[in-house]
Structure 1
Amino acid sequence: MTRFAPTLVLLAGFGLAACNGGTDGESDPAGENATVAGHVAPTGNQASPVSPQPERTEAIDLKEKSDALEFSYRIPAEAAAIPGLADMLKTRAETAKRDALTEHAEMAESLPVDAPARAFELTVDWSVAADTPQLLVLTAEGYDYRGGAHGMPIHRVLYWDKAAAREIPFDALFTDRAAALATVRDDFCAKLDKARADKRGISLAELKKSTDDTMESFTACPEFDEKIPVAFTHPVGGKFGRITFIVPPYIAGPYAEGDYTLDLMIPKAMIPYVADKYRPSFPGTGN
């Protein structure tokens, strides 16, 4: 998605139903067939019955369009299959939609009758960034327009602990978040500078020499904070393969430059700062 939006939004979910078969009540005087958990056990040359395959959970698409709001919220099948996660995200989606409609109504009341408020737009599309035995990592891209010249991007990352059946904060992955991210700081800044120079059509030397007042803040390497979502991605063999930073507009460059998405290798130096509980999801560690 190439458009952008600044509000985090929400997801939804459906539960899975488990079906137990039952006997049909017919007698089997010869005792040739025994029933176990609703299934008929074969005897002799009788062919084994084919166990029914569980129905695949579908992605959840929440859509609504009116004069006030064009709303779209997508939850991938992998998240929809986890009742707690799906319900949590669906609740967030409904809350975000309600807040947008409330804000639009307030704006409409403040405008002249002959200048109606333009419809807002809120889209959020969650996808799976990584799926390990321990953690499901979701990333969201979206667009949030609330009037004005343009909207802003939505970029969010969600970590779901499968065993605990709950969302965990990014900090929970580490014993020391700052120290862990410091191990990729140099690579992050170097890769960001290269990407900025490429977008601006200048050399790295020219980027460093920039003194234009409007661009000076867009040549420095931004600090790691909540404005820059971080996702562990590209799993290999049940372990994360990369660490991905998503830098939105106005953090590393002007709005026109869009986002900067930077994929880095996970350095060995980071592993000692990973919490023991989650080390199996990181490279260079045992199961």
Structure 2
Amino acid sequence: MKPLFLTASIAALVLAACAPANEAPAGDAASGEEAGAEGTVSPESAPLPVDLGSPVFEETADDYTIRAVVDSRIAAFQPALAEDLMTAAKSRLEAFKADAIADGTAARERSAATGEENWFRPYSMEIRFTPSAQADDVIGIEQFSMVDTGGAHPNYILTGLVHERGDEYPISLEAVVTDMSGYGASLKKHLIEAKSERAYDDTHRQNVPAEVEEILGSDAEAASKFGQNFTLAPSTEAGKFGGITVLFSPYDAGPYAEGSYEITVPAAELSGKLTPAWEGRFGGEPDLPAENPK
């Protein structure tokens, strides 16, 4: 068994962000920590290009692969927040690792005792934090968590986070929105539009409104059940947020094959529905990339 560890110093990352483009980030060279005499860092397990300069943790062994990535822009916004996210991710990964080792050991013991084929296949889990938008002292973050335990397909969950600089706790929806029913109505409307675009035929498309009503419930229920899983959308207006983006993981709003949804309620529709502290933080139009179903 050959464990692999890849780590990057968040403090070094913040310093590197100020370095000239032609200089290598501090701490980039050979940062692997060997666990045991046989520990190695292999090129094929190194961070992907999109992760260069980001705090990365990765460990690979016979029974599992676990990985966490915190985008460098989060570390630049607030190093302590990036550290907290990485620590929380590692805690979840360690629990997953223990389950993988236990299941792998049990499967091998059963195979040795019965002569049956060993059913176990290595487990994998990845947790990734990416900023969705930032304005002044507030940042929106999307957390992507993927798990593969050898089933028909991997599963993943999208989680939204909103943090104010200096506050260790995420901002709640109630701190942002006052008119929950109005917010929920807009959320349902835009989910219907998104699901209709993915509908495979006219009959399915006609059934989408009823399907959304059944899944999300009343306007108030849509806000309280699903609207709480939110992050912030970038805006065409500098210094503003373009809307609230609600994240639906696979199975939340349809079958797995339908994928996930990231539904944005635009700033214009949030007007009059926000708390006084947040009314001035929204403006312009959502400046979103083209849809890329996961």
- Which ranges of structure 2 fall in alignment gaps of 5 or more residues? 1-6, 26-52, 112-116, 217-221, 285-294
State the aligned residue count.
Answer: 231
Q: Which piece of structure 1 moves more, 267-276 or 149-158?
A: 267-276
CA contact (8 A) 1:12 1:88 kept: no
Mapped partners of 1:253, 1:281: distance in 2: 32
Mapped partners of 1:110, 1:205: distance in 2: 45
Counterpart selection for 1:159 from 159, 162, 169: 162
Taking a change above 3 Å as real, the CA distance of residues 18 and 250 of structure 1, as seen in their structure-2 partners, is closer
- TM superposition shift of 1:224: 3.5
Secondary structure at the aligned position of 2:160 is classed as strand
Q: Which residue of 2 aligns with 1:146?
A: 149
More helix by share: 2
Question: What is the identity, as a one-letter code, of the residue corresponding to 1:256?
Answer: A
Question: What is the identity, as a one-letter code, of the residue corresponding to 2:243?
Answer: R
Secondary structure at the aligned position of 1:183 is classed as helix
CA contact (8 A) 1:70 1:122 kept: yes
Counterpart selection for 2:121 from 118, 121, 129: 118
Q: Which residue of 2 aligns with 1:34?
A: none
CA contact (8 A) 1:193 1:219 kept: no
- Which ranges of structure 1 fall in alignment gaps of 5 or more residues? 1-10, 20-52, 211-215
Q: Which residue of 2 aligns with 1:128?
A: 131
- TM superposition shift of 1:279: 4.0
Bigger Rg, which one: 1
Question: What is the identity, as a one-letter code, of the residue corresponding to 1:61?
Answer: V
Mapped partners of 1:175, 1:198: distance in 2: 28
* Superposed counterparts of 1:36-115, under 5 Å: 54-55=18-19, 58-81=53-76, 82-111=78-107, 112-113=110-111, 114-115=117-118
- TM superposition shift of 1:16: 6.3
Percent identity between the aligned chains? Answer: 17
**Residue by residue, what CA displacement relative to the aligned partner does 1:142-172 show, whole Å, maximum 9, x if unpaired?**
411234322211211222211x342323235
Q: Which residue of 2 aligns with 1:207?
A: 206
Mapped partners of 1:80, 1:121: distance in 2: 25
Taking a change above 3 Å as real, the CA distance of residues 151 and 275 of structure 1, as seen in their structure-2 partners, is farther
> TM (normalized to structure 1)?
0.67
CA contact (8 A) 1:13 1:84 kept: no
> TM (normalized to structure 2)?
0.66
Q: Does 1:220 align with 2:214?
A: yes
CA contact (8 A) 2:13 2:72 kept: no
Mapped partners of 1:18, 1:254: distance in 2: 41
Mapped partners of 1:265, 1:254: distance in 2: 26
**Residue by residue, what CA displacement relative to the aligned partner does 1:151-205 show, whole Å, maximum 9, x if unpaired?**
211211222211x3423232353364xx24x223333323322332332322378
Mapped partners of 2:256, 2:79: distance in 1: 37
